[in-house]
Chains A and B, each alone.
Chain A
Amino acid sequence: MPLDVAPVIRSYETQRTLNPPGIPALAPPPEGETEDIRRIAGRFGEDIPAAGLHHGNQVVYAQPGQLKALATFLRDDPQLQYETLIDVTSVDRSELPLDGEARFQTIYQFRSYSRNQHLTVVTDCRSGTEGNGTSPHVDSLTSVYRGAEWPEREVFDLMGIRFDGHPDPRRILMPKNWPNHPLQKQAPLGGEEVPFTFTWDDPEFDTLGTQILAAESVAPDLPPGMSRQNMVINMGPHHPSTHGVLRLVVELDGERVVSIDPDLGFLHSGFEKTGENKRYKDFVYYTDRMDYLSSMSNNLGYCLTVEQMLGLEIPERAQVIRVIMAEMQRIASHLFWLATHVLDVSGTGMSLLMYATRERERILDLFEMACGARLTVSYIRIGGVWQDLPDAFVAELKDFLRLMPQKISEYEAMVTEAPLWQERLKGVGHVSAEDALAMGLTGPMLRGSGVDWDLRRDRPYSGYEEYTFEVPTRDSGDCYGRFTLRLEEMRQSVRILEQAVDNLPSGLYRSNNRKVALPPRAELDVSMEALIHHFKLMTEGFHVEPGFFYHGIESSKGELGFFIYSDGSAKPYRLHVHGPSFNNLYAIDHISRGEMLSDVVTNIGSIDIVLGEVDR
């Protein structure tokens, strides 16, 4: 029996939720203006239908015909200098009350590092009838920002929007023979019927646990641009040093890499579609499973985005606990990166894996103290954190912080000065600052090329402005630079943790706003009102004002952004995750060209990818 990939539509999935009057609604027009918006409006005039501030973000609506001109202006104008296109996403508005407006919109996030500005551009897609073909389409920005290539492929794959002028318009995540574009609203969520008493007669359950499917594989194509004159080899998805299920098609001339075509999607889990079908509070648990090496950062990024859409104030103690958790997670994630990087490069160096995971286990123990879980924590919730820190936590953390700096020096003593290690890393995987900006790289990949940017310092959230820490940068732009940079980042995280743990305020660990955050368990026994709030939050959830918002945080891998389009109901209408690994992995082709095949392994380790986040 072949693997049946066509999703089944079931009646209960098409039932609409009960909504208050006026909901669902479109996002309201932006209000107010800023210097940048005046500048853009002055240049484009009537071609900008609306511009202003929305949830504090600068938003510009552009006509589809002017999109490319606008992007070029944003990049090249000396007063704007938006060097980087951070993210491309899209929304299918077919379930919203449209009044002749376009069904599909694409949404772009631009960032100016030199001026510390963020700008969102929204464009209606041309409908299929206006051009050739039937799917909606819009101009590609790959000729302006190189890094748009993969995000645009992702939008095409999941939403079915074609990009005119895109150099490589293939699917990127789903198999090439997939029948639909899953994020379009008419595409069902899919999945399987769950056996309950009322579904027990479903014939699907007759074969439950007994079926063995053929799972026939589709013969792979030669990626465009590759020549059979050279040797084309396949690396992954089952390979010890691809850090998960990544497949690289490598074109080799002898031992030298000519080009690399990464094949993604072997861990595509439909996070974004699932998010559209979950209430806001229920998606926190899914964020754990995206970048499973930094669950706390994922929780934090998602909760901050929702909280800012709600305009929710977070108590001070919760803020500090969040910073403690996020920084511990950064250390844990970097420790795991270090362990696997050394293992990959050396091939046999198990000792650093054992040492680094020894310290990581201590961090996981601390997580377990706080929330009972080691890996998928779901500790940071909308409105604060799940529960207060236990009494023994602070002493244990202080003990760990005393230990950690000398352990980092121990790792350094093992590898940093080792001649073989330097031989394998120095000058390998070089990326210049201009290329890093053009490709939309973030995090250590960007700082390793000399761009001094850290969201914690430059666009602070969760009270990071109150901590003293340095943002390390390296000008070398190679794997060795990124290696020493991450070690230094661990030291800085220890520094932040020391400040946070010394100044841990007392007070609430979760917001007192009962419309959003659950009341403490003890209150349910004594207060009827608390019981009602609890029931309402658990059954219905809370509603978020119509609108959209993008917010990025500095995760261990780079900028982790969440984009939420709300229609006013209790579930996100569209939820998009900008995973830093996804954009950083785009660089693998660029930085590996001309190098040896064994350097590809070094480069993968140096980019520090997590496939759960790349494929989502």
Chain B
Amino acid sequence: MGIEEKVPEGILTTSLDSVVNWGRANSTWPLLFGLACCAMEMIATGTARHDIARYGSELFRASPRQADLMIVSGRVSNKMAPVIKRIYDQMLAPKWVIAMGICASAGGPFNNYAIIQGVDKIIPVDVYVPGCPPRPESLLYAMDMLRAKQRRETIGAGRKVEEPLAVDEIMPLGV
């Protein structure tokens, strides 16, 4: 229908946003960056049984310049906070952050002098994953939610998400 009837066979039309988001959502490269216990589950997510490669995210990059996604996997200490902030700043936009586990989300059991109560105090977070540590399946679900978010972004001015999303809207349970 429409313009596609006029052009030669094999050509599809779509919006630029959809194409770019399709690419971003299906090859989100995480940063090779482990902090604490959750990092072990992050590695488990990358290995054969859970196989994060199914989602195009198996390429953990050690350089922040090549990474799209920072998975903050563990507790963030006061000494580590400036380092995380700097690594995040070094990542190229567009970039996303998953706070993996309760420590990265809100400090977890370590409500004390050493630990920052949530990595969202120093960098913006896209998806929070509960658990101590979250199972690999939880992390994969979080990546699903992130993909849903990525698909709704625009390469236009400000890269703003149109409206706040309800959880059901992003990923209805049972889908």
A: which residues have CB within 8 A of B?
A: 3, 5, 7, 173-175, 178, 182, 187-192, 194, 209, 211-218, 237-240, 244-245, 265-270, 273-274, 285-286, 288-289, 292-293, 336, 353-354, 357-358, 361, 364, 374-376, 611-612, 615
Q: Which of B40, B79, B81, B124 has the most CB of A within 10 A?
A: B79
Decide: A268 and B83 in contact? CB cutoff 8 A.
Answer: no
Decide: A189 and B112 in contact? CB cutoff 8 A.
Answer: yes
| A237-B83, A268-B77 given; A357·B113 CB < 8 A | no
By beta carbon, the residue of chain A nearest B77 is: A268
Decide: B133 and A375 in contact? CB cutoff 8 A.
Answer: yes
Decide: B32 and A3 in contact? CB cutoff 8 A.
Answer: no
Q: Is the CB of B20 closer than 8 A to any CB of chain A?
A: no
A260 to B113, CA, bound (A): 29
Known: A267-B75, A268-B77, A270-B112. 7 other contacts (CB 8 A): A190-B112, A244-B39, A265-B77, A270-B114, A293-B40, A357-B48, A358-B49
By beta carbon, the residue of chain B nearest A174 is: B79
| A245-B35, A612-B37 given; A215·B81 CB < 8 A | yes
Interface bin, chain B: 35 or more
A357 to B48, CA, bound (A): 8
Decide: A192 and B107 in contact? CB cutoff 8 A.
Answer: yes
Decide: A354 and B107 in contact? CB cutoff 8 A.
Answer: no
Decide: A358 and B48 in contact? CB cutoff 8 A.
Answer: yes
- Name 24 A/B residue pairs within 8 A (Cβ), A-sorted: A174-B114, A178-B78, A182-B114, A190-B112, A191-B115, A192-B107, A194-B111, A211-B121, A213-B121, A214-B85, A215-B82, A215-B85, A217-B85, A218-B82, A238-B64, A244-B35, A244-B39, A245-B34, A265-B77, A267-B75, A269-B110, A270-B113, A274-B109, A361-B49
CB distance from B49 to the nearest CB of A (A): 5
Chain A contact residues: helix, strand, loop or mixed: loop
Cβ contacts under 8 Å, A182 to chain B: 113-114
Decide: A192 and B117 in contact? CB cutoff 8 A.
Answer: yes
What is the count of residue pairs linking A and B with beta-carbon distances less than 8 angstroms?
Answer: 144
Decide: B113 and A190 in contact? CB cutoff 8 A.
Answer: yes
Decide: A292 and B40 in contact? CB cutoff 8 A.
Answer: yes
A615 to B74, CA, bound (A): 14
A216 to B112, CA, bound (A): 20
Residue A245 contacts which of B80, B107, B111, B120 (CB distance < 8 angstroms)? B80
| A244-B34, A358-B49 given; A269·B75 CB < 8 A | yes
CB distance from A90 to the nearest CB of B (A): 18
CB distance from A294 to the nearest CB of B (A): 11
Q: Is the CB of B68 closer than 8 A to any CB of chain A?
A: no
Decide: B35 and A273 in contact? CB cutoff 8 A.
Answer: no
By beta carbon, the residue of chain A nearest B117 is: A192
Residues facing A in B64-110 (CB within 8 A) are 64, 74-75, 77-87, 107, 109-110
Closest 4 CB pairs of A and B: A190-B113, A217-B82, A191-B111, A292-B37
Cβ contacts under 8 Å, B123 to chain A: 212
| A238-B87, A240-B62, A376-B132 given; A212·B79 CB < 8 A | no
A374 to B82, CA, bound (A): 31
| A273-B113, A375-B40 given; A354·B48 CB < 8 A | yes
Cβ contacts under 8 Å, B83 to chain A: 217, 237-238, 245, 266
Cβ contacts under 8 Å, A240 to chain B: 32, 62
Cβ contacts under 8 Å, B117 to chain A: 191-192
A173 to B78, CA, bound (A): 11
Decide: A209 and B113 in contact? CB cutoff 8 A.
Answer: no
Cβ contacts under 8 Å, B111 to chain A: 189, 191-192, 194
Decide: A376 and B49 in contact? CB cutoff 8 A.
Answer: no
A7 to B116, CA, bound (A): 12
Q: Is the CB of B44 closer than 8 A to any CB of chain A?
A: yes
CB distance from B21 to the nearest CB of A (A): 26
Cβ contacts under 8 Å, A354 to chain B: 47-48
Cβ contacts under 8 Å, B82 to chain A: 3, 215-218
Decide: A292 and B36 in contact? CB cutoff 8 A.
Answer: yes
Q: Which of B48, B77, B123 has the most CB of A within 10 A?
A: B77
Cβ contacts under 8 Å, A3 to chain B: 78, 81-82, 122
By beta carbon, the residue of chain B nearest A364 is: B44
A357 to B81, CA, bound (A): 30
Cβ contacts under 8 Å, B124 to chain A: 212
- Per-position 1/0 for B15-39, Cβ under 8 A of A: 0000000000000000011111101
| A174-B79, A361-B49 given; A274·B74 CB < 8 A | no
Q: Is the CB of B140 closer than 8 A to any CB of chain A?
A: no
CB distance from B159 to the nearest CB of A (A): 17
By beta carbon, the residue of chain B nearest A207 is: B121
Cβ contacts under 8 Å, A265 to chain B: 77, 79
Q: Which of B43, B78, B114, B118 has the most CB of A within 10 A?
A: B114
Cβ contacts under 8 Å, A217 to chain B: 82-83, 85-86
Decide: B74 and A267 in contact? CB cutoff 8 A.
Answer: yes
Residue B115 contacts which of A212, A239, A269, A358 (CB distance < 8 angstroms)? A269
Cβ contacts under 8 Å, A218 to chain B: 82
Cβ contacts under 8 Å, B114 to chain A: 174, 182, 190, 268-270, 273
Cβ contacts under 8 Å, A244 to chain B: 34-36, 39
A216 to B84, CA, bound (A): 11
Residue A191 contacts which of B62, B113, B121 (CB distance < 8 angstroms)? B113
CB distance from A64 to the nearest CB of B (A): 29
A267 to B117, CA, bound (A): 14
Decide: B112 and A191 in contact? CB cutoff 8 A.
Answer: yes
Cβ contacts under 8 Å, B81 to chain A: 3, 213, 215
Q: Is the CB of B149 closer than 8 A to any CB of chain A?
A: no
Decide: A187 and B43 in contact? CB cutoff 8 A.
Answer: no
Q: Is the CB of B135 closer than 8 A to any CB of chain A?
A: yes
Decide: B79 and A189 in contact? CB cutoff 8 A.
Answer: no
Cβ contacts under 8 Å, B109 to chain A: 274, 285-286, 289
Cβ contacts under 8 Å, A273 to chain B: 112-114
By beta carbon, the residue of chain A nearest B115 is: A269
Decide: A212 and B112 in contact? CB cutoff 8 A.
Answer: no
By beta carbon, the residue of chain A nearest B62 is: A240
By beta carbon, the residue of chain A nearest B107 is: A192
A307 to B121, CA, bound (A): 40
By beta carbon, the residue of chain B nearest A286 is: B109
A268 to B76, CA, bound (A): 9
A596 to B82, CA, bound (A): 30
A27 to B18, CA, bound (A): 70
Cβ contacts under 8 Å, B62 to chain A: 239-240
